[in-house]
Chains A and B, each alone.
Chain A
Amino acid sequence: MKLVPVLSAHWDEKDSFTIQAYTRHDGYKASQKALAMEPDALIQLVKDSGLRGRGGAGFPTGMKWGFIPQGDNKEHYLVVNADESEPGTCKDTPLMMANPHVLIEGCIIAAHAIRAKTAFIYIRGELTHVVRRVNQAIEDAYKAGHLGKGIEIILHVGAGAYICGEETALLDSLEGFRGQPRLRPPFPAIAGLYGMPTVVNNVESIASVPAIVLHGAEWYQSMGTEKSKGTTMYSLSGHVKNPGQFEAPLGITLRELLELAGGVREGHRLKFWTPGGSSTPIFTDAHLDIPLDYEGVAAAGSMLGTKALQIFDETTSIIRAVLRWTEFYKHESCGKCTPCREGTWWLVQILRDLDAGVGTEEDLNKLLDICDNIAGRSFCALADGAVAPIISSLKYFRQEYLDQLANKGPLFDPDESTLFAPAKVGA
């Protein structure tokens, strides 16, 4: 069986977001069990399960919890990063829409494990209905007595800033400042929110915890690959026949996922794709059989990231795609670090020209030179993400850049790429 719905198991029930539906499916049994356990035993359980962060970096969740100093007489905080904004990423949003209670139960368990009394859920602001669902779920969890007896949850709504998905920028934002990343060390585990020990976890990571507590580390370990355990949400979007969410054990390949999604859209073929959002170097049709786990994708020169598989077919201009992503990074650069703030601006200028077919081959080298001066030279990973599409597109599609220059104009008709383009006859 390729697909194993755990997180998504009951999303097809009409009232799946209510506390009644959640309770019907063993909801809040895991937290009951966890609250009766020693915090250290819980941390060990999550370590044993092999759960790794689902927000992009893949850091072992139990180990992160274990970094929180114990017996230090300080307030500890749990912060859930629900600022889902990485281009292509669309997994936490439907999760919170369909089952906010699993996130709340995960918070209760995680807070108990790290000896925190307060958990924050930081949701991006451009999701009015998700905010409603999570807010209502928190209210209902208080009414049912799951919250308010030692553990509080505070909902915090963002206001449109990609950078707040970076954990230290998120903490600054939560403290009421502009969301700008902090220099590390100290890491949040030592000095996080309000300078106190803090765990920042992604929505999917926290939502995975109740099932682990209920069914055990061994059960979770039994799914996935050697170092990437469990199931996860893979999100297919773009030029596929049936885009959507696919929950599968880690290690499934794009070839298998495409088969489930009905293939690339009718009459077209795969050109390039992102394995985990726009900040992960692109892949091509040569990478269809790479196991989509943390190690497999890294070995092939990219990152599993958020498992946001954006699929583009042969009608898509690589230059247009990269330009748009670069404009995004330029817009979302917080401005703190000069290489990122200024560098992304210059990248956009050059790419706009290239997209119009203006420039010389020397501009391609200039792009790479600027990228070299941005990546690794800023406080946070936005800078590294910004250069990923450029460097990887030049690795696989340098000839297309040159062809566009020779053509002195765009090689592709954008109308052919759209969802509402007429079907290709006879293809």
Chain B
Amino acid sequence: MAYSIDELARMDSIIKRYPRSRSAIMPLLHYVQSLAGYVNNEGIELIAQLLSLEAAEVSAVASFYTQYKRTPVGEYHVGVCTNTLCAVMGGDAIFAGLKEHLGVENDGVTSDGKVSLEHIECNAACDYAPVVMANWEFYDNQTVQSAKDLVDSMRTANPIPPTRGPDTLVTWKEASAVLAGINDGKAHEGIQAGAPTLLGLKISKEEKR
């Protein structure tokens, strides 16, 4: 895959963010993932070239972090939290339900390439357990059925929007670009906080009355 002038300029601007170029490895990996859908060999080699490193050094970094995928994932990558709290609250049942519903195992991708599935660790939303993530956007307080509905909506190309996120669910590639630090102009979309986030504040205001 050849990279366009614009893409190369973008990568150059990512490198220029940092006092030392090697620090740009992680956003560059997110960026090549946003182009190919995963971290492909061409991406690794280009990053190595841009940062004057060996491909093996870039590859060693890529393989350390679970978000960098070395094989293609779905257009919508679904993560079910099965760390203790979410697992107990229903994450285990949701994960089992989705595996069966989609006919894939952990790290599997549906044959239409639409949905991939992974069990994930705690995603910092425990007051909304059980939590499902899609392209790292929040789907709070899920049930087995709501999670099935969610993946069905992805496969019919009209994904249910996140609970706390933008108005529409962006694709895996688009989300990867956001993680590379590229502003997609959607920061103002969605709610500022869900009800559990505001619960203490609400009670304190009622106390004052």
Binding site for B on A (CB under 8 A): 1-5, 8-9, 11-18, 75, 84-90, 92-94, 97-98, 118, 124-129, 131-133, 135-137, 139, 154-162, 173-179, 194, 234-239, 242-248, 260-261, 278, 308, 310, 312, 316, 320-321, 324-325, 328, 331-332, 334, 414-415, 417-420
A245 & B196 in contact (Cβ 8 Å cutoff): yes
A132 & B88 in contact (Cβ 8 Å cutoff): no
B138 & A129 in contact (Cβ 8 Å cutoff): yes
A243 & B196 in contact (Cβ 8 Å cutoff): yes
The residue on B at minimum CB distance from A154 is: B17
Can you list 10 residue pairs at the A/B interface with Cβ under 8 Å? A1-B208, A97-B164, A118-B19, A127-B124, A129-B187, A158-B67, A159-B68, A243-B129, A245-B198, A419-B130
A418 & B190 in contact (Cβ 8 Å cutoff): no
Number of chain B residues whose Cβ lies closer than 8 Å to a Cβ of chain A: 83
B126 & A88 in contact (Cβ 8 Å cutoff): yes
* Residues in chain A near residue B203, CB distance under 8 A: 3, 246, 260
* Residues in chain A near residue B126, CB distance under 8 A: 87-90, 235, 237-238, 243, 308, 310
Chain B 1-56 interface residues, beta-carbon cutoff 8 Å to A? 17-20, 22-27, 29-30, 51
Of B58-66, B99-107, B109-117, B152-160, the segment with at least 4 beta carbons within 8 Å of chain A is B58-66
A16 & B66 in contact (Cβ 8 Å cutoff): no
B23 & A156 in contact (Cβ 8 Å cutoff): yes
Q: Which of A94, A162, A321, A324 contacts B82 (CB 8 A)?
A: A324
Q: Does B150 contact A (CB under 8 A)?
A: no
Taking the nearest CB of chain A, how far is it from the CB of B76, in angstroms?
12
Q: Which of A12, A136, A244 contacts B196 (CB 8 A)?
A: A244
Taking the nearest CB of chain A, how far is it from the CB of B141, in angstroms?
7
* Residues in chain A near residue B84, CB distance under 8 A: 87, 278, 310, 320-321, 324-325, 328
B136 & A126 in contact (Cβ 8 Å cutoff): yes
The residue on A at minimum CB distance from B22 is: A176
B183 & A97 in contact (Cβ 8 Å cutoff): no
Binding site for A on B (CB under 8 A): 17-20, 22-27, 29-30, 51, 60-61, 64-68, 79, 82-85, 87-90, 92-93, 120-130, 133, 135-138, 141, 143-144, 162, 164-166, 170, 175, 178-181, 183-184, 186-188, 190-205, 207-208
The residue on B at minimum CB distance from A82 is: B124
The residue on A at minimum CB distance from B197 is: A94
Q: Which of B26, B85, B199 contacts A158 (CB 8 A)?
A: B26
**A129 in contact with B164 given A238-B85, A245-B197 (CB within 8 Å):** yes
Q: How far is the CA of A133 from the CA of B189 in the complex (A)?
A: 9
Taking the nearest CB of chain A, how far is it from the CB of B160, in angstroms?
15
Q: Which of A18, A175, A246 contacts B188 (CB 8 A)?
A: A18
Q: How far is the CA of A133 from the CA of B19 in the complex (A)?
A: 24
Q: How far is the CA of A97 from the CA of B194 in the complex (A)?
A: 10
Q: Which of A118, A128, A334 contacts B165 (CB 8 A)?
A: A128
Taking the nearest CB of chain A, how far is it from the CB of B78, in angstroms?
13
A3 & B207 in contact (Cβ 8 Å cutoff): yes
* Residues in chain A near residue B196, CB distance under 8 A: 242-245
Q: How far is the CA of A135 from the CA of B126 in the complex (A)?
A: 24
Taking the nearest CB of chain B, how far is it from the CB of A8, in angstroms?
5
A86 & B122 in contact (Cβ 8 Å cutoff): yes
* Residues in chain A near residue B27, CB distance under 8 A: 156-157
From A5, A75, A87, A136, residue with most partner B Cβ within 10 Å: A87
A87 & B122 in contact (Cβ 8 Å cutoff): yes
A176 & B61 in contact (Cβ 8 Å cutoff): yes
B135 & A92 in contact (Cβ 8 Å cutoff): no
Q: How far is the CA of A80 from the CA of B55 in the complex (A)?
A: 30
Q: Which 6 A-B pairs have the closest CB atoms?
A: A244-B199, A136-B187, A159-B65, A244-B196, A246-B200, A237-B126
Q: How far is the CA of A7 from the CA of B162 in the complex (A)?
A: 25
Q: How far is the CA of A157 from the CA of B79 in the complex (A)?
A: 18
* Residues in chain A near residue B20, CB distance under 8 A: 175-176, 194
In the complex, given contacts A125-B30, A126-B79, what are 4 additional A-B residue pairs having Cβ atoms less than 8 angstroms apart?
A: A1-B204, A159-B29, A237-B127, A238-B85
Q: How far is the CA of A135 from the CA of B177 in the complex (A)?
A: 12
Q: Which of B89, B164, B184 contacts A417 (CB 8 A)?
A: B89
A8 & B135 in contact (Cβ 8 Å cutoff): no
B192 & A4 in contact (Cβ 8 Å cutoff): no
Taking the nearest CB of chain A, how far is it from the CB of B27, in angstroms?
7
Q: How far is the CA of A278 from the CA of B88 in the complex (A)?
A: 14
Q: How far is the CA of A225 from the CA of B198 in the complex (A)?
A: 25
Q: Which of B130, B192, B204 contacts A13 (CB 8 A)?
A: B192
Q: How far is the CA of A417 from the CA of B133 in the complex (A)?
A: 21
Q: Which of B65, B125, B193, B205 contacts A161 (CB 8 A)?
A: B65
* Residues in chain B near residue A128, CB distance under 8 A: 135-137, 165, 170, 175, 178-179
* Residues in chain B near residue A332, CB distance under 8 A: 121
Q: Which of A159, A245, A331, A418 contacts B200 (CB 8 A)?
A: A245
